[in-house]
Chains A and B, each alone.
Chain A
Amino acid sequence: MNTHIVLSAINISADYILDSKRGLYLNAIDNVSIDFRSDEVIGIAGESGSGKSTLVKILYGAAFPPLIIRKGKVYLFTKDNSKIDITSITREELRKNIWWKHISYMPQNAMNVLNPVKKVKDQFIEVFKYHDERIDAKETITKIKELFMRLGLPIEALNAYPHQLSGGMRQRVVIALSLLFNPRIVIADEPTTAVDVVTQLGILNLLKDWQRNSKTTLIMVSHDMSVHAYMDDRIVVMYAGNVVEVGSKNDIFENPMHPYTKLLIASLIKKGEKKLKTGIAGEPPNLLNPPPGCRFHPRCPFAMDICRREAPPIVELSDGKVVRCWLYARK
């Protein structure tokens, strides 16, 4: 395996400011470190409010108030082996040199991000202009057509307004836009939540084929574990702002370590199952006032005394597996 690290997040903690006068902060991300490698699909899984979207915003360098980064760095490794700290450069630099060329981001609800009063073609031309790509109109059109062919989109869609396209088509146009400059890292935030099962499968295949052909890094954010089962090489499981477990797809599904992952996997309904399953009792914690110690301890069946007092250590196991739990500390 000839892969290298392309993006590295180190000890990130981030808060949302709710009321700075009264000192109200919502701790959305707590001490997260992840390395992203080239040529892999890495999934970020977790329930709503677990900090998935906040984390990818920080990775993308789009952490603007009320979101503030308390601690930690995000390093981007470029082709010529230089190291750029995404958290400390200006927005102008990000826009000109980093975004779309190195990292691109498909936001949640991607089907609603197109300008409703502009034709699809003009939206593409605008993107070229925005990034100071000096090529004439004819060349632009041929380039877009090439991309559309690769993604299996009909060329007629170029002359349509967004409302004339179906949700799945708009989603594919946004995917085409984000792949325009051949970025090395693509972040897809819930790319298929608002589309049908049949369309969902089509879009996922599109992303997967593109990733396999261009050997890039695809970061998939989804709450849906079946999407992860289909797409990912590696999975990062988040709970209440913490990364609780990182492992390969097979490890996470067949041999989960963290109690939360164990219960989550056990609660999933597979096709053709009627056997009674149990969910996880209780509710996710309020991050304004997170429980002391491990954030999962109020719902955890294995909770010990120490879990209620101290935050669990990040334990690195063999094969790149990482689990954040007291059960695996000190052998």
Chain B
Amino acid sequence: MQGNENSLKVESVSKYYGYGLLGLKKFKVLDKISLGIPLKPPTIFAIVGETGSGKTTLLRIILRMIKPDEGVVKYKGLDVFKLPRNAVSWYRREVQPIFQDPYESFNPLRRVDSYIFDAAKRMAKVDKGSIEEYVDGILRYVGLSLDRVHGKYPHEFSGGELQRIAIARAIAARPTLILADEPVSMLDASLRVNVLNLFKKIRDDLGTSIIYVTHDLATAYYIADQIAVLYRGSLVELGPIDKVYENPRHPYTQLLLTSILEPDPKISEKIKPLKLSTIELKEFLAQGCKFAYRCPYASKKCFEKEPPNVTINGVIVKCHLYEKS
């Protein structure tokens, strides 16, 4: 059932959403996205973008929740949307999600430990005799224990604890890939680091790759190995995080990096003010580069022609500036 390749490949995936009267007019939420996430060696892959950049749509496509209008997603060499029937549950076990708001991802009327028991029983196929030991082990791994969780409902936990239970549920299924959609944005600063450290531990101990979707570049740099920057549905920069961070090439990545606020009292001297944009839908519909309206280097070509993907030093940049003439 398994293919030979040990990676998840997203190949020129596009997705359209309708808008206007009856949704007859369409705009591209995702525009020919291609990226590959290696499963061996395990990698933390950060997808960074603002609201409306299409990062959640991309995640949902990988999760097989919505179908792309163009392109394919290949997991270990198999097309995710053309899996044989018995392989669907296999894929559902291999790829596990963690969502942004832990209070919304659990049913408020269901005991939280039952989620982990279900995952252990149905997905990891743990025997009845050793299931309690298995669940306790997993809860201890995330810093809790079965005694503390047993028989309790979601409202009895704080956000940080519940997010750790959501992570425990994901790893109870023994996945090879975890998709985490803004997993720490709802948590307080003092608890955020603990959850991020847990992701690092999962990568190193369990050998699980993680897709970390976020708008926060500082935490992305803290845990990730690779980074993809999305802007209005197109992938503008992709590469190893150190290279992108030290030498951002796309003007949008540069803007993003200079406008992050830091917990550093000297920050106000470092950052210079900028103009705010007033256009939004217009950018999605743009013919050429979607960033052209805000780009300081924009030329006439940028408004008319879609920029090419240029590979420089292992980093892919979608920009006319780096085109070889």
Contacts and interface: CB of A to CB of B under 8 A. Distances in A.
Given A229-B265, A272-B245, A166 B280 contact: yes
Interface string B155-194: 0001111000000000000000000000000001111111
B50 interface: yes
- B: contact size bracket: 35 or more
Contacts of A264: 189-190
A228 B192 CA distance: 18
B161 A283 contact: yes
A266 to B, nearest CB: 9
B188 A223 contact: yes
A68 interface: no
Contacts of A330: none
B218 A269 contact: yes
Contacts of B222: 269, 273-274, 277
A269 B219 contact: yes
Interface string A160-182: 00000011110010000000000
B259 interface: yes
Contact of B273 (A47, A48, A205): A205
A202 interface: yes
Nearest to A286: B158
A276 to B, nearest CB: 7
Interface stretch (A1-9, A27-35, A56-64, A193-201): A193-201
Contacts of A195: 51
A148 interface: no
Contacts of A200: 259, 261
A324 B33 CA distance: 53
A150 to B, nearest CB: 14
A230 B261 contact: yes
Contacts, number: 139
Contacts of B51: 167, 195-196
Nearest to B216: A197
B205 interface: no
Nearest to B223: A274
Interface residues on A, range: 35 or more
A168 B276 contact: yes
A267 B255 contact: no
A267 B190 contact: yes
Contact of B263 (A154, A198, A263, A270): A270
Which residue of B50, B245, B262, B267 has the most chain A CB atoms within 10 A of its CB atom?
B262
Of A167, A223, A250, A269, most buried by chain B (CB within 10 Å of CB) is A269
Contacts of A284: 158, 188
Nearest to B276: A202
B275 interface: yes
Interface string A197-236: 1111111110000000000000000011111111100000
Nearest to A265: B263
Contact of A267 (B193, B245, B268): B193
B190 A271 contact: no
B147 interface: no
A65 interface: no
Contacts of A274: 221-222
B217 interface: yes
Interface string B68-95: 0000000000000000000000000000
Contact of B160 (A202, A253, A283): A283
B276 A152 contact: yes
Interface string A225-254: 111111100000000000000000110111
B215 interface: yes
B285 interface: no
A204 B267 CA distance: 13
B278 A198 contact: no
A226 B267 contact: yes
A268 interface: yes
Contacts of A196: 50-51, 215
B189 A47 contact: yes
B133 interface: no
Given A168-B276, A226-B262, A229-B262, A277 B188 contact: no
A231 to B, nearest CB: 8
Nearest to A198: B259
A278 interface: yes
Contact of A202 (B188, B197, B274): B274
Given A198-B50, A253-B265, A283-B160, A267 B192 contact: yes
Name the residue in A172, A227, A265, A284 with the highest tally of chain B Cβ atoms < 10 Å from its Cβ.
Answer: A284
B260 A271 contact: yes
A280 interface: yes
Contacts of B160: 283
Contacts of B191: 279-280, 283
A202 B263 CA distance: 18
Nearest to A152: B276
A280 B193 CA distance: 9
Closest 9 CB pairs of A and B: A226-B261, A47-B188, A279-B193, A279-B194, A196-B50, A268-B263, A202-B276, A280-B190, A225-B263
Given A196-B51, A229-B264, A272-B245, 4 more contacts: A196-B215, A265-B263, A269-B193, A278-B197
Interface of B: 50-51, 158-161, 188-194, 196-197, 200, 215-219, 221-222, 245, 255-257, 259-265, 267-268, 271, 273-278, 280
30 contacts: A197-B50, A197-B215, A197-B216, A197-B260, A198-B274, A198-B276, A202-B273, A202-B274, A202-B275, A205-B273, A224-B261, A225-B263, A226-B262, A229-B265, A230-B271, A250-B265, A263-B190, A264-B190, A267-B189, A268-B263, A269-B219, A270-B218, A271-B217, A271-B218, A271-B221, A278-B194, A279-B193, A279-B197, A283-B160, A284-B188
